Structure 1
Amino acid sequence: MLVERWVHLCIDMQRMFAEDTPWQVPWMKTVSPEVVEVASRFPQRTIFTRFIPPRNAGAMPGMWQAYYEKWPMMTTNRLAPEMIGLVSSLHALVPPARIFDKFLYSPWVDGRLHSALGSEEVGTIVLSGGETDICVLAAALGAIDLGYRVILLKDAVCSSADDTHDASLQLLGDRFSVQVEIMRTEEWLIDATDPDLR
């Protein structure tokens, strides 16, 4: 049984990754049932991150400008505003689930999320969402650095690249085995408890 306070941090399950855009993650729909199962069972312990592109490439620093020069159609000047939103099955859970907007791969950079979780005495991060080898990986590594216990639900994360998805799971499981546990959603749900009920 989980003995400390935890949150389900669901990474970037947004329409712009689920639908027909250059950033579509085709098998996001495959992991959606697992993500929905966790989030709907514990909406009050769920935080959905959203990756928010800039207005245009010039609004970002450094190499992010080159990144958005490659993907100008994904800036908010050109992307339909509703595409930033969560997929409908998860949007329906807000509130009590929360939304945390970020502008980079990692949700930890500016300290807001860590500060909020610290005030709630959270010690464990349960990760789902996409992409395994980009934003999920950044969230996991940041959580490790900040001292959280990380549980990654391997059937609730997805990528548009199978090889690097698999490599990321192997990296986290092998090189960070003290700080990261990788398990299936069903296995985790057997032991999960709602901290608000303790």
Structure 2
Amino acid sequence: MDVPSGRIHLCVDMQRIFAEDTPWHIDWMEKVRGPVAGIARAHPQATIFTRFVPPDRPEDAVGMWRSYYEKWSNMTRLAQGEAMIDILPELRELVPPAMVFDKPIYSPWLDGRLHAHLQERGAHTLVVSGGETDVCVLAAILGAVDLGYKVVLVKDAICSASDETYDASLQLFASRFSVQLELKTADEVRAWWP
């Protein structure tokens, strides 16, 4: 299915495991749920949700990811359950026509599936929302820039566990990627992409 505008809403890791009472809880997620859902509801056919999917158990991970999950063994799929890995309920109800891409790491680009899918759809611009600004959103943005996409980062529809790293990330994006990336509010995105 082609996207006539060439625009795709890439919503990064808006999952229950980060919204609910877990060690990975992000307080800010509650603040951005509304703006994220508003963009997704306006363009469900042009929305892709990514999910950060931990391994079943630490020994299923490779390299330093094994050490990571040895530290966070209570955050594996077996420990948390499949339901906690899913996207938020108000976003899940948009699938389909929205799509979900699972990833075992921060970046959604490593295995090439997402890029191939976007190319098939004629996408050239990614409207990015989700969490966390300084981890998975950062990985998504850097990969998108490397692959030549224009990025529109919705600054009131992204969240971090820390105000300090959120502010530093926005400063980095604005100063170092100003040719490839624009910062907009959700209201500005709605006006620009009605």
**What's the TM-score bracket when you normalise by the shorter of the two chains?**
over 0.9
> Is structure 2 residue 174 aligned with structure 1 residue 151?
no
The answer for the alignment partner of 2:191 in structure 1 is 190
The answer for the alignment partner of 1:76 in structure 2 is 77
The answer for the alignment partner of 2:138 in structure 1 is 137
**Aligned counterparts of 2:97 and 2:82: Cα–Cα separation in 1:** 23
Mapping 1:89-168, distance limit 5 Å: 89-168=90-169
The answer for the alignment partner of 2:86 in structure 1 is 85
The letter of the residue matching 1:174 is S
**Aligned counterparts of 1:188 and 1:77: Cα–Cα separation in 2:** 38
Structure 2 gap ranges (5+): none
The answer for the alignment partner of 2:58 in structure 1 is 57
Three-state SS of the structure 2 residue aligned to 1:77 is helix
The letter of the residue matching 2:74 is M
Moved more, 122-131 or 53-62: 53-62
Q: What's the TM-score once normalised by structure 2's chain length?
A: 0.96
After the TM superposition, list the runs of 4 or more consecutive aligned residues in structure 1 that deviate by more than 6 angstroms: none
Three-state SS of the structure 2 residue aligned to 1:150 is strand
**Aligned counterparts of 1:4 and 1:82: Cα–Cα separation in 2:** 34
Q: What's the TM-score once normalised by structure 1's chain length?
A: 0.94
Query: Residues 131-160 of structure 1: CA distance to partner in whole angstroms, max 9, x if unpaired?
Result: 000000000000000000000000000011
**Aligned counterparts of 1:80 and 1:5: Cα–Cα separation in 2:** 36
The answer for the alignment partner of 1:196 in structure 2 is none
**Aligned counterparts of 2:146 and 2:120: Cα–Cα separation in 1:** 18
CA RMSD of aligned residues (A): 1.0
The Cα of 1:4 is off from its aligned counterpart by 4.4
